[in-house]
């Protein structure tokens, strides 16, 4: 996985910081390898998932912004988009946007938000004879169902 020149210093810093925090073993070695290979501009594909986890941790905890500022945060997010996690999230969002296309040109009759649990919510959007139900949590947005023509929940 290629790491751009403007992103390298941030990936290296985060990988080394995490390597310092974990005990000796395979995980420490993986983060050290990520730091070294990112500095060279190319993280091996077998470490791209671990790189995605590393970047997600830095972003989600706020460390990326507090340590590296907005530029570092943008650089790390750019790297994350190319990781397996980032590519999966992009594909899920593309699928979700395609499903939401069923509402295009329709008048929205109702929108309802409901809690599913801690940090998780559902949103129902009704437009004519179409109802789309989505769920959101801290990790993803998911299409729960599309009901066309009434007569059920669609799930």
> For 17-66, what is each residue's pLDDT tens digit?
999 999 999 999 999 999 999 999 999 999 999 999 999 999 999 999 99
Does 141 map to a domain?
yes
* Distance in angstroms between the alpha carbons of the first and the last residue of the chain: 38
pTM of the entire predicted model: 0.78
Q: What Å distances lie between residue 87 and 5, 13, 149, CA to CA?
A: 21, 23, 34
pLDDT given at position 150: 66
Cβ count within 10 A of residue 111: 10
The mean of the pLDDT values for the chain is: 92
pLDDT tops 90 at residue 108? yes
Of the candidates 31, 54, 82, which is a domain's last residue? 82
Q: Assess whether 110 and 74 both reside in one domain.
A: no
pLDDT higher than 90, residue 153:
no
Q: Which of 82, 116, 140 is the last residue of a domain?
A: 82
**What is the extent of the structural domain holding 14?**
5-82
User: Which DSSP category does 138 fall into?
Assistant: S
> Scanning the structure block, which residue is given the tokens 């403007």?
6
Helix 5-21 × helix 26-40 angle, to 10°: 160
């Amino acid at each position: 996985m290629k790491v751009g020149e403007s992103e390298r210093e941030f990936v290296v810093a985060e990988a080394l910081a995490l390597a310092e925090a974990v005990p000796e073993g395979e995980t420490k070695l993986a983060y050290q390898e990520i730091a070294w290979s990112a500095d060279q501009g190319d993280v091996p594909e077998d470490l791209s998932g671990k790189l995605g986890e590393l970047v997600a941790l830095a972003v989600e905890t706020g460390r990326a912004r507090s340590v590296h500022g907005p530029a570092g945060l943008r650089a790390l997010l750019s790297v994350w988009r190319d990781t397996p996690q980032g590519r999966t999230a992009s594909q899920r969002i593309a699928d979700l946007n395609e499903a939401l296309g069923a509402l295009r040109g329709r008048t929205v009759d109702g929108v309802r938000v409901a809690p599913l649990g801690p940090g998780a919510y559902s949103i129902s959007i009704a437009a004519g004879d179409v109802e789309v139900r989505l769920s959101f949590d801290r990790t993803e947005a998911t299409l729960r169902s599309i009901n066309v023509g009434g007569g059920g929940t669609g799930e």
